[in-house]
Structure 1
Amino acid sequence: MQAYARFAELTPPQRSGITIGDGAAEEIAVELAVSPNTTAKHLHEAQELVTRLPGTVSALTAGEIDVMRAKAVREYTAELDDDQAAHVEKRVLAGGKQENLTRFKHVLRREVIRADPQGAEQRRLAVKAQRDVTRWHRADGTSSLTVHLQPHEAELAYQHINLLAGHATGAGRNLATARADVFMDLIGGKQVDRPSVSVNVVVPMTTLMGLNQEPGEISGIGPITAEYARELAQNATWRRVITDPAGQVLEVSRRRFASPELRRFVQVRD
């Protein structure tokens, strides 16, 4: 990575609109027998990491993190300015590599939201507006549908399909095949017993009260912006969870509390 960055430094662009000199990627591609597109990608990644996130490169050199974690730091901080990125890098690396890559990315995501809560919310709304369903016909004769949703929507949909599929296995169908069949049953309007599914969202009470922008978290998915958490809480059922300052759960209430909006809805409906 340092060698790539050094090579990019020694071959600066001679015209506007590019960050690496003409021919630099092709020169490396010939030596390594890979495509110029691949080497150009490596050059850009290395240049950004070495110049913008030197702490990450140092941690990688010392063996404190691996390449996947280093690339995650670069990817997750791409929309931040240099000062914000340096702040996130410092806080994340101070916490160590975490027990797995997913947990490391959750820590990264939380710190990015904390560093730039308004920007994180704007980016969330931007990608929310790009929700879509796309199809792809494969060469093997099958086809794929890709559905882009908000995280809680995707989790609810998957849990719903998975629970129904669990009761539909057998007769030569495994769980994966049953999920596909259940999906088509739902699309076709077949009457099925709908399972009860839920998604847990953990959010500080101070965030719900609008006192700060501290991130919430969707269990199994990761950190979300404060505004997203408040949005999900509007029509949800609340349960009190008490934690210590480090976030360890001390108590979970047996009672559940309908949110004010849900309570009003039920009262008006009934």
Structure 2
Amino acid sequence: MILVSPCFHWSRAPSCGRIEHMVDVEEWVGAPDSLLLDGSPSPAAVQPSGWLALELDQYFSSPADLSDPALIDALVGYERVVAWAQARQARQARLIAELSARRSEPGAVTDWAADEVGTALHLSGGTAAFRTRQAEALVSRLPDTLAAWEAGLLDQRRVTVITEGTATLSDEHAALVEARVLPKAPEQTAAQLRASVKRAIIAVDPGGAQERHEQARRDRRVAVNPEPDGMASLWALLPAPDAVAAYEWLTRLARGCGAEDPRSMDERRADLLADLLSGRLANPDPALPVPVNPGKPLVQLLMPMTSLFGLTDDPCELLGYGPITAEMAREIAASAVWRRLLFDPASGALLDHGRSTYTPPAALAEFVRARDVYCRFPGCRRKVVNGELDHVTAFAEGGATSAANLAGYCVRHHHLKHAGGGWQVRALPDGGLEWTTPTGHAYVTRPYDYRSDPDPP
């Protein structure tokens, strides 16, 4: 047994690849349940440092000798070390900000700190300017984000989401957005954090958010760009409701082509778009007619009643896009067919109701899709409205066709649930789903939270 650092030591059993640890509890950053299957602490639960990097290199250097759980724990351990190393860039940001401040002092010869940074670090002009702007914003406007980065709680990608998202805000509003999003940021994906930042911006500055939308709306346009191999891309910048509605309409038409159509959904959408915009009303293949069904495309909008009636300007959400202002939502609502859904103010989850047949009735299916909003696989942001429903406990094993035993998934993760080689899903009493991987690691997802983000204390 080798003592490598003052806080813990490991021994390794080569025959099974299992790592045994003795860790000072005060050095843990994870909860006490952050353990390997044998009850020993995971390297993911140890404070990342140079010591941890050395020990990972020493004891996890031969992947072939590791058990499946040890492979996952080593993977997470290295990711924490990478985040710790990236956190040193937070300290580098302080140096860049200090250099920029000195170059901005009265009487300084130049204000070209970014050029000095780019020359020293061999960066392009654009990258150096971005790093300088980000450093200045972190030091002057977002000190808590910088502190979280230094602690290894955030990586550079998520720090960039916060700094870029708040770039157009006043210092006061940027600080309010930071206070709202930071508590959950370490546990969120970059996409989830981006949505949280958008919601927070609308919540703290609804008037400014609407003004920026109206300005951006004046920049709507269409462009065509050459691509390799005889292809070209047709690009359009549209108001979010129009873009989402157009995509949903193409998806509806693509599904109407029938299961016998050999093309993928992407190919169908591309062909239909070309047919519609070029004036051809029929599919290029005469054997596969394009069905045109009446009715408006389905556009889902999540909106508090108080915002609908103009009592508040809480952020709303347009599925397939993300948070939008209350004013935009009211414009959509003016010509929409509404269906009222009630949620629990304590948990933010849609209220439950049930059925007992195998195939969910339409009302129950709509309820579950509205409750979950996004695929219930950890970290997935695909919309359930275009996905599939499934029993958590199989109907053949006694599972009821009820809201409590149904969940929405994208196609990929529905297939993974049934053919994923050892994945297990269990419903929790509070409405959460616990996903257990083939290596025994557990992750919990919850239904969509309909509540507005709370004001920070």
| TM-score for both structures, normalised by structure 2 | 0.50
Q: Output the CA distance in 1 between the equivalents of 2:261 and 2:172.
A: 59
Letter in 2 for 1:79: T
The CA deviation at 1:174 is 3.4
Letter in 2 for 1:121: Q
- Kindly indicate whether the alpha-carbon contact (under 8 Å) linking 1:169 and 1:178 is maintained by their aligned counterparts in 2: no
Q: Using a 3 Å threshold, how does the CA distance of structure 1 residues 202 and 140 change in structure 2: closer, same or farther? A: same
Pick from 121, 145, 158: which aligns with 1:69?
Answer: 158
Q: Output the CA distance in 1 between the equivalents of 2:321 and 2:292.
A: 23
The CA deviation at 1:163 is 3.2
The CA deviation at 1:25 is 3.3
Q: Output the CA distance in 2 between the equivalents of 1:97 and 1:113.
A: 21
- Kindly indicate whether the alpha-carbon contact (under 8 Å) linking 1:206 and 1:212 is maintained by their aligned counterparts in 2: yes
RMSD: 2.9
* Number of equivalent positions: 253
Deviations 1:152-199 (A, max 9, x none): 211121122233334278776433333221111112240542245301
The CA deviation at 1:224 is 1.1
The CA deviation at 1:251 is 5.1
The CA deviation at 1:34 is 2.8
Aligned partner of residue 250 in structure 1, secondary structure: coil
Q: Output the CA distance in 2 between the equivalents of 1:169 and 1:219.
A: 26
Letter in 1 for 2:272: V
- Structure 1 partner of 2:335: 235
Q: Output the CA distance in 2 between the equivalents of 1:51 and 1:44.
A: 11
Q: Does 1:55 pair with 2:107?
A: no
Deviations 1:103-137 (A, max 9, x none): 21111111111111100011111111211111112
Q: Output the CA distance in 2 between the equivalents of 1:27 and 1:79.
A: 25
The CA deviation at 1:147 is 0.8
- Structure 1 partner of 2:351: 250
Q: Output the CA distance in 1 between the equivalents of 2:159 and 2:114.
A: 22
Deviations 1:31-63 (A, max 9, x none): 433323322221121121222101001111222
Q: Output the CA distance in 1 between the equivalents of 2:167 and 2:339.
A: 36
- Structure 2 partner of 1:263: none
- Kindly indicate whether the alpha-carbon contact (under 8 Å) linking 1:2 and 1:50 is maintained by their aligned counterparts in 2: no
| TM-score for both structures, normalised by structure 1 | 0.82
- Kindly indicate whether the alpha-carbon contact (under 8 Å) linking 1:242 and 1:251 is maintained by their aligned counterparts in 2: no
Q: Output the CA distance in 1 between the equivalents of 2:259 and 2:94.
A: 53
Letter in 2 for 1:114: A
Q: Using a 3 Å threshold, how does the CA distance of structure 1 residues 210 and 77 change in structure 2: closer, same or farther? A: same
- Kindly indicate whether the alpha-carbon contact (under 8 Å) linking 2:225 and 2:233 is maintained by their aligned counterparts in 1: yes
- Structure 1 partner of 2:377: none
Letter in 2 for 1:37: G
Query: Equivalent residues in 2 for 1:1-270 (5 A)?
Result: 1-11=90-100, 12-13=102-103, 21-22=111-112, 24-166=113-255, 167=257, 173-187=263-277, 188-190=279-281, 192-195=290-293, 197-245=297-345, 246-250=347-351
Q: Using a 3 Å threshold, how does the CA distance of structure 1 residues 30 and 80 change in structure 2: closer, same or farther? A: closer
Q: Using a 3 Å threshold, how does the CA distance of structure 1 residues 14 and 111 change in structure 2: closer, same or farther? A: closer
- Kindly indicate whether the alpha-carbon contact (under 8 Å) linking 2:177 and 2:197 is maintained by their aligned counterparts in 1: yes
Question: Which runs of no fewer than 5 residues in structure 2 stay unpaired?
Answer: 1-89, 283-289, 354-362, 367-457
- Kindly indicate whether the alpha-carbon contact (under 8 Å) linking 1:161 and 1:179 is maintained by their aligned counterparts in 2: yes
The CA deviation at 1:247 is 2.0
Q: Output the CA distance in 1 between the equivalents of 2:307 and 2:176.
A: 22
Question: Which runs of no fewer than 5 residues in structure 1 stay unpaired?
Answer: 257-270
- Kindly indicate whether the alpha-carbon contact (under 8 Å) linking 1:97 and 1:104 is maintained by their aligned counterparts in 2: no
Larger radius of gyration: 2
Q: Using a 3 Å threshold, how does the CA distance of structure 1 residues 185 and 193 change in structure 2: closer, same or farther? A: same
